Amino acid sequence: MASSDRDKEELFARLSIEEINPGTFFGKWTKSKNTSMIKSYSPIDGSLLASVTSTSPSDYDKVILQSEKSYTEWVEIPPPKRGSIMLKIGQALRAAKEDLGMLVTLEAGKTISEGKGEIQEMIDIADFSVGLSRQLEGLVIASERPWHRMMEQYVPLGPIGIISSFNFPSSVWSWNAFIAAVCGDTSIWKPSSKTPLAAVAITKVLSRILEEEGAPQIFSLVTGSGEEIGSRMAADRRIKLISFTGSVQSGKKVSQLVSERLGKSILELGGNNAAVVSDNADIDIALKGVAFGALATAGQRCTSTRRVIVNDRIYDAFIKKMEKIYRDLPVGDPRKSGILVGPLIDESAVRKFESAISEAKRQGGKLLAGGTRASINGGKGFYVKPALIEAKPDMEICKTETFAPILYVFKYHAIDEAVRIHNSVPQGLSSSIFTRDLLESEYFISHRGSDCGIVNVNTGTAGAEIGGAFGGEKDTGGGRESGSDAWKNYMRRQTITINYGKELPLAQGVEFKI
């Protein structure tokens, strides 16, 4: 790699990552009898970072049993005390932010800023969970019967499973695990096989804090393929909830397995996010918002901007400026200063990028900029020049999410037309409109407007804050995680009725005399 092997070795030593790592943690690390290895390659130059042992079937069962045991201990700890332990976890992540951020950069190909930003997001959700630990509220409900009180409370679920994706190899896990922890749950993490090292390193940081605090090991780790380990988790009745982040196709399989056992699931699936740019927009803000949304993480965010719908009165001028941004875009080694777009995750992602561009051309799209491989690091790594494509909204390729930096551009004349174009895809995660017109912005956020779970005005589709509930509609899955009241997903609701009188009146005036 561009940095010396010694730099990598020193980083791994600080994070306690050995060259060959056990990939199973259930209160202790174990090198599985399974001979299958997960090799983690850096997309920066294709080099092997390290190998992780896949979880064996017998070790998988040990993980579940340990998670159940830890739950019986953890649930007895009062929520504010759980919060104080999460405070220590947040502090430990702050101390390790630089190293963990660099590991995310090496393994996922994010820029230095984005790598550290992902760890900051974990810190933020840890802080959020500390406050939440003292705000797990219920309700008192008016009863129609005299001498009766009705209440509603939330009770922890038990062990939950979290199956995360490569593009956010740490933060999205924490959205679930940290909130679930203060609710009283334990969690079992299956990271993407493309980015297992970040999960190993983070688990080591957190397990050390739990040990120091005398707390049960509430965070477990399993590694392996989605087809083997992920499917087993989805079908396992002992795991009370599955939170899955990934493709629509994989999410449907997970949903089916969980539904067959009448389990709970949170699904964060595909996004095909669009930004509407009005002729009333601040063009500089719109350009930056659209560019960041389309190009951050090399277009490998579920919230990446994949379509931009531009008013016909400013279309030519706006697209001309976008073309210049794409022509001058600094693509390269994400560890270098000034680089905005790093590599795609692997060769398969590059091929899908190329295939989508070919298909867009076949369907009548016009390539305005980019759209080819980029020779970086002497041809090593998985770099492309982000594509800007003029297209028609009814092109099938525009209704499909390609997890790569491809931005389709359309024209519109009136706001209702823009919304129809916006809502014409199966996915419904994130959306945005750039306008200084109050009526347009209100239309877009009303029931007539965006059909997405996330709606933005004068900011891009990407870059959600942890304070709001994150999730989408339609093929995106309908799940919600992170902030707001998403914590309720990790608990079960109970309605309680207490009769403190000397008689037994029945609801609805029913009489039953014996």
Phi-psi region of 285 (alpha: psi -120 to 50; beta: other; left: phi over 0): alpha
Confirm if 305 and 290 have CB atoms less than 8 A apart: yes
Closest residue by Cα to residue 431 from 251, 309, 319, 318: 309
- Six-digit token pair at 267? 């699904």
Closest residue by Cα to residue 201 from 191, 211, 214, 188: 191
Which three-class secondary structure state does DSSP give residue 61? helix
Distance between CA atoms of 136 and 138, rounded to whole angstroms? 7
Beta bridge partners of 220: 188
Polymer length in residues for the chain: 514
Which of the residues 121, 268, 401, 440 is marked catalytic?
268
Which three-class secondary structure state does DSSP give residue 188? strand
Which three-class secondary structure state does DSSP give residue 89? helix
Closest residue by Cα to residue 127 from 173, 170, 163, 174: 174
Q: Could you tell me the sign of the dihedral formed by the alpha carbons of 161, 164, 168, 169, in that order?
A: positive
Q: Could you tell me the sign of the dihedral formed by the alpha carbons of 141, 142, 145, 146, in that order?
A: positive
**Containing H/E element for 433?**
strand 430-434
> How many Cα atoms are found within 13 Å in the side-chain-facing hemisphere of 219?
26
Which of the residues 183, 302, 398, 452 is marked catalytic?
302
Active-site residue 268, yes or no? yes
Active site residues: 268, 302
